[in-house]
């Protein structure tokens, strides 16, 4: 009788231990999940080979750039300064997306925006990213995600991603926003 009780106690203990191990084990995609660095407006954020300072975030009904390009709609405009930290080989800001609820919006490459900008090591470049949003994506929480590509392959590096949490309905809404010219930061 004691041996049967001991067998059951050991079985329950082993099952509890296996359950604990399964809860502590990382998911299958954990090996490719990015290391996230949370950013704040006006403060530098550093993620591996990328340093970004987001200087302003606003919503607008239209955007224009210095070359005369304009577009109507709902736009989120992000002014930023960015530089590579370790090497400028392949340091291109290719990951520029806004996640709203379960939808992801990429920064526009129309006009003279900062999307796809090549970065220089230790010397910040400045510009603006612009995201065109539908009417039903203008409120609630959102996350801006920024990252680099690697080498000549153009593959996005997800080991260092800078994220800025936003609440869209708390942002200023302007009639028109000017997209900054890409250039050296001041």
Q: What is the pLDDT of residues 95-126, one digit of tens each?
A: 999 999 999 999 999 989 999 899 999 999 99
User: What is the count of structural domains for the chain?
Assistant: 1
CATH number of the domain within which 159 lies: 2.60.40.1240
3 state DSSP class of 46: strand
Q: Mind listing the pLDDT tens digit for each residue in 51-97? A: 999 999 999 999 999 899 999 999 999 999 999 998 887 788 889 99
Task: Give the residue among 58, 54, 108, 57 at the shortest CA–CA distance from 81.
Answer: 54
Query: 99 is in which domain, residue-wise?
Result: 29-184
Q: Mind listing the pLDDT tens digit for each residue in 6-57? A: 888 888 888 888 888 888 877 776 565 667 889 999 999 998 889 999 999 9
| pTM attached to this predicted model | 0.80
69 located within any domain: yes
Contact 39, 55 (CB under 8 A): no
52 located within any domain: yes
């Amino acid at each position: 009788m004691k041996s049967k009780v001991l067998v059951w106690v050991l079985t329950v203990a082993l099952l509890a231990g296996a359950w604990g191990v399964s809860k502590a084990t990382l998911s299958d995609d954990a090996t490719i999940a990015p290391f996230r660095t949370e950013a704040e407006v006006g403060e530098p954020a550093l993620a591996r080979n990328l340093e970004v300072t987001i200087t302003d975030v606003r919503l607008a009904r239209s955007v224009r750039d210095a070359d005369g390009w304009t577009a109507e709609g709902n736009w989120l405009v992000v002014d930023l300064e960015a530089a590579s930290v370790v090497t400028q080989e392949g340091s291109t800001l290719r990951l520029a997306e806004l996640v709203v609820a379960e939808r992801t919006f990429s920064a526009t490459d129309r006009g003279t925006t900062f999307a796809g900008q090549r970065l220089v090591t230790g010397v910040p470049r400045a510009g603006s990213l612009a995201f065109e949003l539908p009417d039903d994506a203008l409120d609630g929480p959102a996350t801006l995600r920024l990252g680099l590509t690697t080498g000549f392959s153009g593959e996005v590096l997800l080991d260092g991603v800078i994220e800025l949490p936003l609440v869209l309905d708390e942002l200023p809404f302007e009639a028109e926003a000017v997209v900054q010219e890409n250039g050296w930061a001041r």
